[in-house]
């Protein structure tokens, strides 16, 4: 009888130990992903795209002290917070590319400066950021840096699908590999 009680207590202790150990490492979610789609529109000479983040991850990355948590659901285009998001995106999602200032040849390397055209928060907990920027001509080399959220979440993984003249290319970014060369085909 004493043996049965001891075995039952061991099982309960093991279960309690397992649950407590597991709970100690739990965070909001285990995986951190952001997605971007960017395409060059030759008719309008614009780069146009969408970046999708977990809303609370973006809130925390922009303001680590937590003062923005829950505010993104109520944003409009005139909000000062919208400008914070635009600045954050331009700091952490950058293109550098060959451009021609006054000829048909590469004169200089240009750096992107996107305009945040709109935001939509989704019921699934994500936020979609619509961006664009004028580009008179796009020449190789095109480099992309996409390190958004990585300073706050070291396991962050970002993915970009870039479309140029019907050619799609998808590249992945992690904390130790935040820049890639995009092909213009």
What's the residue count for the chain? 185
Q: Do 141 and 157 contact (CB within 8 A), yes or no? A: no
How many Cβ atoms are within 10 Å of 133's Cβ, its own excluded?
Answer: 18
Where are the strands (E) in the chain, listed by range? 33-41, 46-54, 93-99, 108-111, 115-121, 126-134, 139-146, 157-164, 167-173, 179-182
What pLDDT, on the 0 to 100 scale, is given for residue 28?
Answer: 54
Is residue 34 within 8 Å of 149, Cβ to Cβ?
A: yes
What pLDDT shows up at residue 23?
41
Which stretches of the chain score pLDDT less than 50?
2-7, 9, 13-27
For 108, phi then psi, to 5°, come to -145, 170
pLDDT tens-place string over residues 112-142: 999 999 999 898 989 999 999 999 888 999 9
pTM score of the predicted model: 0.80
């Amino acid at each position: 009888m004493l043996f049965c009680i001891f075995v039952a207590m061991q099982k309960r202790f093991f279960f309690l130990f397992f649950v407590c150990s597991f709970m100690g490492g739990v965070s909001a979610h285990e995986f951190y992903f952001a997605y971007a789609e960017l395409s060059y529109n030759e008719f309008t000479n614009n780069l146009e795209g969408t970046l999708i983040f977990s809303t609370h991850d973006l809130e925390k990355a922009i303001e680590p002290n937590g003062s923005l948590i829950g505010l993104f659901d109520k944003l409009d285009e005139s909000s000062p917070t919208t400008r914070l998001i635009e600045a954050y995106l331009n700091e952490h999602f950058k293109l550098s590319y060959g451009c021609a200032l006054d000829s048909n040849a590469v004169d200089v390397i240009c750096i992107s400066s996107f305009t945040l055209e709109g935001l939509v928060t989704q019921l699934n907990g994500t936020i979609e950021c619509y961006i664009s920027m004028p580009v008179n001509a796009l020449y190789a080399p095109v480099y992309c840096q996409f390190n958004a959220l990585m300073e706050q979440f070291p396991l962050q993984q970002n993915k970009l699908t870039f479309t140029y003249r019907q050619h799609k290319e998808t590249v992945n970014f992690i904390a130790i590999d935040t820049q890639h060369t995009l092909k213009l085909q």
